[in-house]
């Protein structure tokens, strides 16, 4: 048998893309609430637009999401019907601390997630909780400049202590920050950073990343103190970088890009910055606030497992830098002529998942968790209400086979697999609803119209069978 018998087959969602209810239950405004479904979105994602410059009449899809806030019972019941063993979801920081720096938590918010976790428990679904999934209280952006400010560490620690204490009996698997390396590419998304126009952007980004790393180490410490059974993971937007050719210059370029990606989870997994990272700080002429207390906290509180998202491999060349890039992905990559792409220009590379699993396992030798993977595609509801999505089944099947081979033939240690957007939700990069990942369709369009009705797709029954057979039928 290739998959361990307790392998966590699951699905993943995030508050900022599905929950909605942005002005209900005492919730405060969050960074994602300001991301419009408009071309202005990308500039804001990069931190190059002020939230005060946005047009209030634009549509802000995160505010309503798929209204998981009111549909969570129905949604969790459907996921349980599919046989899900694990549900990755995030807590909206602003539902617990509406401003981020509040004295006391919001009781209604605490109760909401308790009810969500109770629902999971009812069906024996293991929750995997992302503490911060692209989600910063707007008050902290305005008052403190978000993660560029050391104060955020204390606010985050308080938030973590509150949720870990309250949900002690329900949650054991935690992720501190979603895709921590995203901060370098989309700093508003990753860390609520908006540049003031005159500052050294690298200085701001690497400083913010350092504060997040310290906060992450604190969260790991707090988790282990509250419950020694707690398991805390870091989370990487992964995908190995291939050299475009066997020209050593291309190989070296690919290696450098990979080192940049591992930069942060190296610290979370090993407890210190690599020598390569320190050389980059020198080259970029950065002057970072890193105290000896920070260094001790980092060293003493490394993560229990490595989680990551995988959508595709990347490709780099020393010579072809600016031409023929893939579309739509925050991580610039050359088009790999050997690969097909999705409707959104994302490359499709199942073997790349096996390669990436091997790279990460050999680098850290810690258990791994694939917490995002999937195909964003357009779905059509037929007249009889059915939805045929063979393209999604084909994508997932090939990736699961690659994962199986990595366990069976290469010996990697994998805790579970939660495919992204198990129920359709808002796309992080585009704000669209039409970029669908789910086994469950949600009737809502890109402008927020629709009944919100949930409909099973063909992939729903297919995944159910895979879980039932523990992947032996792939």
Instruction: Kindly list the residues in this chain that would bind ligand BGP in the complex (CB under 6 A).
Output: 14, 17, 178-179, 237, 309, 372, 376, 420, 427-429, 435
Token pair, residue 474, equals 């792939």
Of 369, 363, 335, the closest CA to residue 349 belongs to 335
- The nearer residue to ligand BGP, 193 or 298, going by C-beta atoms, is 193
Q: How far apart are CB 170 and ligand BGP at their closest, in Å?
A: 23
Q: How far apart are CB 21 and ligand BGP at their closest, in Å?
A: 18
Which residues are within 8 A (CB) of 422 and not within 5 positions of it... i.e. 6 or more apart?
10, 11, 12, 13, 79, 82, 84, 87, 437, 438, 439, 440
Please, are residues 144 and 151 in contact by the beta-carbon 8 Å criterion?
A: yes
Instruction: Compute the distance between CA of residue 22 and CA of residue 187 in angstroms, rounded to an integer.
Output: 22
Determine the 3-state secondary structure of 469 from DSSP. Answer: coil
Of 108, 100, 184, the closest CA to residue 146 belongs to 100
Q: How far apart are CB 249 and ligand BGP at their closest, in Å?
A: 29
- The nearer residue to ligand BGP, 33 or 179, going by C-beta atoms, is 179
Kindly state the DSSP code that residue 5 receives in the 8-state scheme: T
- The nearer residue to ligand BGP, 144 or 463, going by C-beta atoms, is 463
Cα within 13 Å of Cα(356), Cβ side: 31
Please, are residues 323 and 414 in contact by the beta-carbon 8 Å criterion?
A: no
Cα within 13 Å of Cα(1), Cβ side: 8
- The nearer residue to ligand BGP, 17 or 46, going by C-beta atoms, is 17
- The nearer residue to ligand BGP, 191 or 237, going by C-beta atoms, is 237
- The nearer residue to ligand BGP, 280 or 307, going by C-beta atoms, is 307
Instruction: Compute the distance between CA of residue 196 and CA of residue 294 in angstroms, rounded to an integer.
Output: 27
Q: How far apart are CB 229 and ligand BGP at their closest, in Å?
A: 26
Q: How far apart are CB 12 and ligand BGP at their closest, in Å?
A: 8
Q: How far apart are CB 432 and ligand BGP at their closest, in Å?
A: 8
- The nearer residue to ligand BGP, 354 or 435, going by C-beta atoms, is 435
Determine the 3-state secondary structure of 86 from DSSP. Answer: strand
φ/ψ of 106, rounded to 5, equals -85, 110
Q: How far apart are CB 178 and ligand BGP at their closest, in Å?
A: 5
Of 250, 251, 258, the closest CA to residue 274 belongs to 258
Please, are residues 402 and 354 in contact by the beta-carbon 8 Å criterion?
A: yes
Residue linked to tokens 């993977």: 373
Token pair, residue 451, equals 């009944």
Token pair, residue 196, equals 């003031």
Instruction: Compute the distance between CA of residue 99 and CA of residue 138 in angstroms, rounded to an integer.
Output: 7
Residues with catalytic function: 179, 372
For residue 355, what are the CA distances in angstroms to 4, 132, 359, 402? Answer: 20, 28, 6, 9
- The nearer residue to ligand BGP, 84 or 237, going by C-beta atoms, is 237
**b/e map 57-71, b = 16+ CB within 10 Å:** eeebbbbbbbbbbeb
Instruction: Compute the distance between CA of residue 400 and CA of residue 395 in angstroms, rounded to an integer.
Output: 9
Residues listed for the chain: 474
Please, are residues 96 and 110 in contact by the beta-carbon 8 Å criterion?
A: yes
Q: How far apart are CB 282 and ligand BGP at their closest, in Å?
A: 30
């Amino acid at each position: 048998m290739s998959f361990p018998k307790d392998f966590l087959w699951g699905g993943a969602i995030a508050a900022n893309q599905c929950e909605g209810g942005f002005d209900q239950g005492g919730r405060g405004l969050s960074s994602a609430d300001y991301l419009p479904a408009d071309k202005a979105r990308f500039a804001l994602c990069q931190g190059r637009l002020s939230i005060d410059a946005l047009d209030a009449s634009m549509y802000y899809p995160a505010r309503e999401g798929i209204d998981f806030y009111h549909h969570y019972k129905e949604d969790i019941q459907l996921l349980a019907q599919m046989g899900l063993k694990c549900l990755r979801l995030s807590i909206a920081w602003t539902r617990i601390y509406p401003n981020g720096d509040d004295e006391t938590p919001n009781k209604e918010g605490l109760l909401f997630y308790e009810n969500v976790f109770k629902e999971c428990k009812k069906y024996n679904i293991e929750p995997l909780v992302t503490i911060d999934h692209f989600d910063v209280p707007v008050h902290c952006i305005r008052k403190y400049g978000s993660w560029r400010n050391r104060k955020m560490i204390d606010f985050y620690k308080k938030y973590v202590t509150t949720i870990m204490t309250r949900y002690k009996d329900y949650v054991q698997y935690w992720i501190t920050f979603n895709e921590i390396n995203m901060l370098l590419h989309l700093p508003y998304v990753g860390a609520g950073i908006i540049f003031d126009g005159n500052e050294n952007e690298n200085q701001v980004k690497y400083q913010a990343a350092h504060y997040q790393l310290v906060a992450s180490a604190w969260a790991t410490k707090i988790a282990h103190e509250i419950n020694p059974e707690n398991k805390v993971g870091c989370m990487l937007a992964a995908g190995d970088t291939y050299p475009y050719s066997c020209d050593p210059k291309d190989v070296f370029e690919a290696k450098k890009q990979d080192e940049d990606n591992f930069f942060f989870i190296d610290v979370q997994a090993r407890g210190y910055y690599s020598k390569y990272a320190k050389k980059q700080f020198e080259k970029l002429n950065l002057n970072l606030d890193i105290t000896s207390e920070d260094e001790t906290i980092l060293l003493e509180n490394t993560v229990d497992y490595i989680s990551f998202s995988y959508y595709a491999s990347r490709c780099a060349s020393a010579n072809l830098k600016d031409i023929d890039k893939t579309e739509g992905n925050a991580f610039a990559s050359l088009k790999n002529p050997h690969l097909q792409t999705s409707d959104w220009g994302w490359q499709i590379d199942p073997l790349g998942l096996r390669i990436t699993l091997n790279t990460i396992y050999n680098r850290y030798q810690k258990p791994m968790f694939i917490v995002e993977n999937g195909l964003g595609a357009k779905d059509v509801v037929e007249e009889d209400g059915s939805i045929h999505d063979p393209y999604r089944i084909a994508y997932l099947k090939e990736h699961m086979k690659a994962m199986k081979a990595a366990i069976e033939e290469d010996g990697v240690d994998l805790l579970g697999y939660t495919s992204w957007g198990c129920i359709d939700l808002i796309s992080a990069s585009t704000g669209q609803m039409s970029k669908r990942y789910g086994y469950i369709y949600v009737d809502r369009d890109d402008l927020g119209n629709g009944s919100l009705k949930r409909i099973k797709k063909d992939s729903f029954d297919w995944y159910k069978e895979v879980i039932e057979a523990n992947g032996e039928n792939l």
